[in-house]
Structure 1
Amino acid sequence: MADHPRATRLAERIQEIVARMLDTRVKDPRLGFVTVTGVRVTGDLQHASVFYTVLGDEEARAATAAALESAKGLIRSEVGRQTGVRLTPTLEFVPDAVPETAASIAEALREAARRDAEAAALAASAQYAGDPDPYR
């Protein structure tokens, strides 16, 4: 996303419009439980990448991607009508990898916690050389 305030405002507005459209106007049965996670707009306001997540398996994600692709024209016309910009940006729907990334990070944290617990258990039962209190 560009650092221009206008592009930022347009991206936020497009996110609101697309989320509302998917909730109320797009009635495609292939459309799963979709969450619009973000929008990036180019500096010239000609292209918008809409990031989304889908709750479900890979089949649901593929069906939702097809539904979004078929509803792209309807959504773009509504974005143009509600934003009032001279040239309506083209929309590109991109699946967001945030849930998968979060799941892999959570798995890595669980593995680290398990290893810490193993190390603590080994340290608790360890017998160290020398006196129990070396400072007496």
Structure 2
Amino acid sequence: MADAARARKIAERIRVLVTQGLDTLVKDPRLGFVTVTDVRVTGDLQHSTVFYTVLGEDADRAASAEVLEHYRGRLRSHAGKGLGIRLTPTLEFIPDALPESAAHLTEKLRQVQERDAELAAARSAGAYAGEADPYRKPRESDDLAEADQDEGGAALADDRPGAAGTG
């Protein structure tokens, strides 16, 4: 078993070599715009999985998958020459689900943004159930003096316990 650091280094080198091989070796016009996103190598360095994406529609993806399968041996040979290790790992090409996941997340974010806009519109059209400011404010001294006098100008008796003038 190789250590994990060596496996990562070999996987990164395979990614670079396969990308170079796609540019130089593969001359098939059916090959679309292929991007190698990740390479994983088993612990014994015997097998590698190459994840890729293809820009375009389903037909382009299917055609590119056929081309990659057809050129798999040549790409493995190219990678083996560049790696310089005793045994060249086999290559397995797997389409990466990254674009579909990103499209799904983009759709969900768009839906959330629409809901937020609806809530903001409902919030701006809404009104308070009671007064706009439900908190009591202390009376000013002029308002207090007017409230303590009756219509004739006589002072009203203060019925509160402990108030001055009650006995």
Could you tell me which residue of structure 1 aligns to residue 29 of structure 2?
29
The percentage of counterpart residues that share the same residue type is: 60
Structure of higher CA gyration radius: 2
Alignment of 1:37-116 (within 5 A): 37-116=37-116
CA distance in 2, matches of 1:123, 1:16: 54
Q: Which amino acid aligns with 2:53?
A: T
Could you tell me which residue of structure 2 aligns to residue 10 of structure 1?
10
Structure 1 residue matching 2:131: 3-state secondary structure: coil
C-alpha RMSD over aligned residues: 1.2
Select the structure that is richer in helix.
Answer: 1
**Does residue 132 of the first structure (1) align with residue 104 of the second (2)?**
no
Aligned residues: 135
CA distance in 1, matches of 2:3, 2:28: 35
CA distance in 2, matches of 1:14, 1:112: 40
Q: Which runs of at least 4 in structure 1 moved beyond 2 Å after TM superposition?
A: none
CA distance in 2, matches of 1:6, 1:94: 22
Structure 1 residue matching 2:129: 3-state secondary structure: coil
Q: Report the alpha carbon displacement of residue 3 of structure 1 after superposing the two structures with TM.
A: 6.8
Unaligned runs of 5+ in 1: none
Deviates more, 1:25-34 or 1:52-61: 25-34
Unaligned runs of 5+ in 2: 138-167
Structure 2 residue matching 1:85: 3-state secondary structure: coil
Q: Report the alpha carbon displacement of residue 24 of structure 1 after superposing the two structures with TM.
A: 1.8
TM-score normalised by length of structure 1: 0.96
CA distance in 2, matches of 1:29, 1:130: 72
Structure 2 residue matching 1:39: 3-state secondary structure: strand
Q: Which amino acid aligns with 1:53?
A: T
- Write out per-residue CA displacement over residues 24-61 of structure 1, whole angstroms, 9 at most, x where no aligned residue: 22101211110000100011111100000001110000
Q: Report the alpha carbon displacement of residue 128 of structure 1 after superposing the two structures with TM.
A: 2.0
CA distance in 2, matches of 1:89, 1:18: 12
Decide whether aligned partners of structure 1 residues 87 and 3 sit closer, same or farther in structure 2, where only a CA change above 3 A counts. Answer: closer
Q: Which amino acid aligns with 1:83?
A: L
TM-score normalised by length of structure 2: 0.78
